[in-house]
Structure 1
């Protein structure tokens, strides 16, 4: 019985959806020299739009984390929307997002 509740909690909490380095399980999408890593997470029975935008610089990789108010009924929907939002952020801010 404890295993049932443990498995249920794991699915509900979204555990196991990141790799060992703490990165999102979703593949990064290249866009205009940036990488968008969708990283939606469970929130109130839906999935919150979230992700990271990365870019390589001479000094190393810079990251910009974003979370938006939109929620979605499925992780796939939230992942797709995170990519759209990431592209919008890149188009509007470019490298300024790292300042």
Structure 2
């Protein structure tokens, strides 16, 4: 039963919470990239947010990747790299 609770949001575990903390932020080509890795199954999962102000409104694109790391620092570094890669490949198309 505890598996079903976790699956549907009823578990009390801190792992995999939607309220990820920003561990690091960088600016790249006018975009802000925030690393927000979260703990999942004892490791840190690659996660982040790419944002930019467009026409007076802040647009955001959240991303999660399958990559997991034992250490938070590694997850933060890869999250930042993935965010930069998204900006380089897609630019403002991320928001459209």
The bucket for the TM-score relative to the shorter chain is: 0.7 to 0.9
Verify the 8 A CA contact 1:24 1:37 in the aligned structure 2: no
Say which of 79, 83, 95 aligns to 1:86.
83
Aligned residues: 83
Q: Which residue of 1 aligns with 2:9?
A: none
Cα separation, 2, equivalents of 1:88 and 1:30: 13
CA gap of 1:37–1:13, structure 2 versus 1, over 3 A, is same
Q: Deviation above 6 Å: which 4+ runs of structure 1?
A: none
- 3-state SS of 1:86 partner: helix
Unaligned stretches of 5+ residues in structure 2: 1-12
Match of 2:54 in 1: 57
Answering whether residue 10 of structure 2 is matched by residue 13 of structure 1, we say: no
TM-score (norm 1): 0.75
Contact 2:45 2:67 (8 Å CA) reproduced: yes
Superposition RMSD in Å: 2.1
SS, match of residue 84 in structure 1: helix
- What's the counterpart of residue 32 of structure 2? 35
| Residue of structure 2 in register with 1:68 after alignment | 65
- TM norm structure 2: 0.77
